[in-house]
């Protein structure tokens, strides 16, 4: 009874404060603030005086969820809950912020002048080189609102040590969900995104209390939901049709690793899925940050809110996903110093005002660095940049042993492959495995840079480093099929005027998929050809086919499923083109830097 009383009192206080705050007109149009001296001072943690983006989503465990920073965690969740209670007319409300990304059409944010994006259906940029940097001020906006609410609404309710609570609230930064990490391999879908209630570990009176989990769903205002029905949403409360499996984490991890490969060093190719028609088969065309982004939307939400650009931002998980996309973008920028072409870098990133009360929007020039918003990421806090950072990220996102993936999908084979049995008969004395080469490279590069004694031992003990099949002696690895295999495909994203999934199978067993996060076309006849990829390594390995590219076409098939999962005849996708290609990870250049050596010949799978 005491816990129920605490809960009722806490929620009543939050709701009463919400009603009081919305009774007054918000004094000025919201701006996504630049970092001022006070904010940087309050958030000083790293050597550069910037606050880390805190990871509030640790692996799932048998015990109740326990974040490290329980005070910031308590403030963050209460502020998120409060933000969801504000009416859509308040630009600080979750409804108003979510409305920025997609539909309803013709509903501008905070009276920002002009149409709602190019199509008037949403401000977001997709299949566009501005994709990563448009979403940066978007996440900064919701972060700044959370900080404001935590500082001015939630922290003052703590009657003991109020000043310290207010100071702590100013240091909150939005957490990211790293779905390619070692932790994700153990716990692909953190319970904080699915449990209906959460325990606030330190409440306003110092005691714990349980409240509705604000990160699970959001109930759309009636007028907005009326518009969403046409996009196939069957409930006013957001819902998810999927989650994330270990197999999908391994697939994502392989894709993330390629972001930091020097062979893919090109902003246009990195930033978005749009194809460069002048170079249609270059591997870099198929490995973008947007492609990784699209797949997470598909894994979690195909057939539901997260799976459609029109509605995805109404699901709270959207922002944790995009915070990680921003992190990967920041890491890529720090590795390669890449930036949008100057011809588009001054394009206004509407509707994000660069200061309150102004209609001047942020541009890519303004938002090129996270420093402009007063935050950084753990990997960047010590100043590591360039090749040294890329090497470190290669170690962070090491290969995954196909034999070690535990997956409950009944459509994937679960048996010892012929290839693994054949490994014992191969002559490995004259041809070191890629794992051995990677170990030597990492030992040489990292031990030299950091003087770490025993580094080789720690690499070999890493749980998720793949012991890869050995390329037979005297065989050119690139021609042979290499150490990994990918399906590279291009297709018109508007083919069926809704999001869809490109699925690959090996002998009928699910190998992997790529989600096309398609927006509705603006005009009849609109064509936007995009490129993406699917990792086939794991299933080909299980089938004993990884090093037999001459057999791939006989065993690999492709199909396409629509938004709700129904198979669509491939004749409806006249632009679909699929090639299969092997590659050798961690080949070394003359300076002993790793890069991916792609096979020179691609195998035409479809048409």
Q: SS3 of 562, please?
A: coil
- Whether residue 560 sits in one domain with residue 422: yes
Statement to judge: residues 555 and 538 lie in one domain: yes
Would 248 be classed as within a structural domain?
A: no
296 domain residue, yes or no:
no
pLDDT band for position 515 (50/70/90)? very high
Q: Nearest Cα to 76, choosing from 15, 146, 126, 153?
A: 146
**Pair type for strands 375-376 and 51-52:** parallel
Q: Which two tokens stand for residue 352?
A: 């994000």
Q: Could you give the CA distance from residue 587 to residue 596 in angstroms, rounded to a whole number?
A: 6
Residue 493 lies in a domain: yes
Greater confidence (274 vs 15) lies with 274
Alpha-carbon distance of 473 to 426, in angstroms, equals: 9
Q: DSSP letter at 482?
A: B
* Whether the Cβ atoms of residue 401 and residue 383 lie closer than 8 Å to each other: no
Range of the structural domain that residue 315 is part of: 2-241+303-392
Residue 358 lies in a domain: yes
Residue 226: CATH number of its domain: 1.10.1280.10
337-382 tens-digit pLDDT? 999 999 999 999 999 999 888 899 999 999 999 988 888 888 888 8
Q: What is the mean pLDDT of the chain?
A: 79
Contact assessment for residue 465 and residue 477, using Cβ atoms and an 8 Å cutoff: no
3-state per-residue secondary structure call for 155-187: HHHCCCCHHHHHHHHCCCCCCCCCCCCHHHHHC
Sign of CA pseudo-dihedral 306, 312, 314, 319: positive
The domain boundary residue, chosen from 392, 424, 442: 392
Alpha carbon distance 481, 548 (integer Å): 7
Q: What is the pLDDT of residue 556?
A: 98
Residue 284 falls inside a structural domain: no
pLDDT digits (tens, 9 = 90+) for 46-87: 223 233 333 333 222 223 334 567 888 899 999 999 999 999
**Whole-model pTM?**
0.83
Q: What percent of the chain has pLDDT over 90?
A: 57
C-alpha distance from residue 414 to each of 46, 277, 544 (Å): 45, 40, 13
* Domain contains 292: no
Whether residue 450 is found in the same domain as residue 577: yes
Which of 353, 374, 392 lies at the terminal end of a domain, its last residue?
A: 392
How many whole angstroms separate alpha carbon 112 and alpha carbon 361?
10
Does some domain include residue 291?
no
Are residue 350 and residue 480 in the same domain, yes or no? no
Q: How many domains does the chain have?
A: 2
Give the end of a domain, one of 392, 410, 438. 392
For residues 485 and 540, is the Cβ–Cβ distance under 8 A? yes
Residue 532, φ and ψ in degrees, nearest 5? -155, -175
Whether 243 has a pLDDT exceeding 70, the answer reads yes
Both structure tokens of 2: 């005491």
Alpha-helical (H) ranges within 432-572 are 434-450, 455-460, 477-480, 537-542, 549-555
CB 174, CB 45: distance < 8 Å: no
Confidence of residue 281 (pLDDT cuts 50, 70, 90): confident
- Do 325 and 420 lie in one domain? The reply is no
List, in sequence order, every residue forming a beta bridge with 490; answer none if it has no partner. 531, 577
* CA 537 remoteness from chain centre: 21
- Find, among 258, 158, 268, the residue nearest to 206 by Cα: 158
- The answer to whether residues 588 and 463 belong to one domain is yes
Q: SS in 3 state form for 291-346?
A: HHHHHHHHHHHCCCHHHCCCCHHHCCHHHHHHHHHHHHHHHHHHHHCCCCCHHHHC
Which tokens hold the place of 590?
A: 């003359």
* Cis amide prior to 607 (ω within 30 degrees): yes
Q: Which of 188-197, 308-317, 415-424, 588-597 has the lowest mean pLDDT?
A: 415-424
Same domain, 457 and 599: yes
Q: Length of the chain, please?
A: 607
**505 & 360 share domain:** no
485 belongs to a structural domain: yes
Residue 116: both structure tokens together: 């709602």
What residues are paired with 502 via a beta bridge? 514, 560
Residue 413 pLDDT greater than 70, yes or no = no
453 CB neighbour count, 10 Å cutoff: 9
Which run of H or E residues covers position 257? helix 246-258
518 with 380, same domain? no
Question: What is the SS3 assignment for 72?
Answer: helix
Q: Is the dihedral of CA 189, 252, 592, 336 positive or negative?
A: negative
Same structural domain, 586 and 560: yes
DSSP H or E stretch at residue 388? helix 386-396
C-beta of residue 256 within 8 angstroms of C-beta of residue 184: no
Residues 184 and 230 in one domain: yes
Token output for 112: 């920002």
The answer to whether residue 427 scores a pLDDT higher than 80 is: no
The tokens 């100013």 sit on which residue? 170
Return the residue matching tokens 């008037």: 120
Residue 235 DSSP symbol: -
Judgement on whether residues 169 and 209 belong to the same structural domain of the protein = yes
Please state the φ and ψ torsions of residue 351, each to the nearest 5 degrees.
-105, 35
């Amino acid at each position: 009874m005491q816990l129920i009383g605490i809960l009722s009192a806490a929620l009543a206080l939050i709701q009463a404060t919400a009603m009081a705050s919305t009774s007054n007109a918000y004094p000025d149009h919201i701006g996504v603030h630049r970092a001022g001296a006070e904010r940087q001072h309050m958030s000083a943690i790293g050597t550069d005086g910037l606050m880390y983006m805190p990871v509030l989503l640790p692996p799932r465990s048998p015990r109740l969820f326990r974040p490290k920073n329980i005070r910031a965690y308590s403030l963050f969740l209460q502020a998120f809950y409060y933000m969801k209670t504000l009416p859509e007319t308040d630009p600080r409300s979750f409804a108003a912020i979510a409305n920025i990304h997609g539909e309803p059409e013709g509903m501008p944010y905070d009276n920002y002048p002009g149409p709602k994006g190019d199509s008037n259906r949403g401000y977001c940029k997709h299949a566009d080189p501005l994709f990563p940097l448009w979403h940066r001020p978007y996440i900064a906006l919701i972060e700044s609102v959370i900080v404001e609410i935590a500082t001015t609404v939630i922290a003052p309710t703590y009657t003991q040590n109020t000043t310290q609570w207010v100071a702590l609230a100013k240091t909150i930064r939005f957490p990211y969900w790293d779905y390619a990490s070692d932790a994700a391999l153990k716990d692909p879908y953190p319970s904080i995104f699915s449990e209906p209630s959460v325990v606030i570990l330190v409440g306003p009176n110092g005691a714990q209390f349980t409240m509705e989990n604000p990160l699970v769903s959001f109930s759309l205002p009636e007028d907005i939901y009326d518009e969403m029905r046409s996009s196939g949403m069957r409930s006013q409360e957001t819902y998810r049709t999927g989650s994330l499996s270990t197999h999908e984490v391994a697939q994502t991890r392989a894709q993330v690793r390629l972001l930091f490969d020097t062979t893919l060093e090109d902003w246009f190719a990195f930033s978005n899925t749009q194809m460069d028609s002048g170079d249609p088969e270059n591997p870099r065309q198929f490995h973008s940050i947007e492609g990784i982004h699209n797949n997470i939307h598909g894994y979690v939400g195909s057939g539901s809110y997260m799976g459609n650009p029109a509605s995805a931002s109404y699901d709270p998980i959207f922002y944790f996903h995009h915070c990680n996309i921003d992190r990967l973008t920041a890491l890529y920028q720090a590795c390669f110093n890449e930036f949008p072409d100057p011809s588009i870098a001054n394009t206004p990133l509407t509707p994000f005002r660069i200061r309150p009360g102004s209609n001047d929007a942020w541009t890519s020039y303004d938002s090129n660095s996270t420093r402009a918003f007063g935050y950084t990421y753990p990997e960047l806090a010590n100043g590591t940049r360039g090749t040294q950072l890329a090497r470190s990220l290669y170690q962070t996102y090491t290969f995954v042993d196909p034999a070690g993936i535990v997956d409950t999908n009944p459509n994937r084979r679960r048996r010892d492959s012929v290839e693994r049995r054949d490994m014992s008969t191969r002559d490995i004395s004259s041809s070191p495995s890629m794992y051995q080469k990677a170990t030597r490279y990492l030992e040489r590069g990292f031990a030299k840079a950091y003087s770490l004694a025993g580094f080789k031992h720690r690499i070999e003990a890493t749980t998720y480093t793949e012991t890869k099949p050995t390329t037979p002696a005297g065989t050119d690895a690139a021609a042979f099929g290499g150490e990994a295999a990918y399906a590279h495909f291009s297709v018109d994203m508007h083919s069926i005027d809704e999001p869809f999934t490109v699925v690959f199978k090996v002998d009928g067993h699910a190998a992997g998929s790529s989600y096309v996060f398609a927006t509705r076309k603006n005009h009849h006849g609109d064509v936007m050809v995009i490129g993406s990829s699917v990792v086939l390594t794991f299933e080909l390995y299980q089938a004993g086919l990884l090093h037999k590219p001459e057999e791939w076409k006989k065993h690999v098939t492709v199909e396409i499923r629509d938004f709700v999962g129904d198979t669509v005849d491939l004749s409806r996708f006249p632009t679909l083109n699929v090639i299969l290609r092997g590659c050798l990870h961690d080949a070394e250049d003359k300076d002993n830097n790793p890069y991916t050596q792609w096979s020179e010949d691609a195998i035409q799978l479809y048409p």
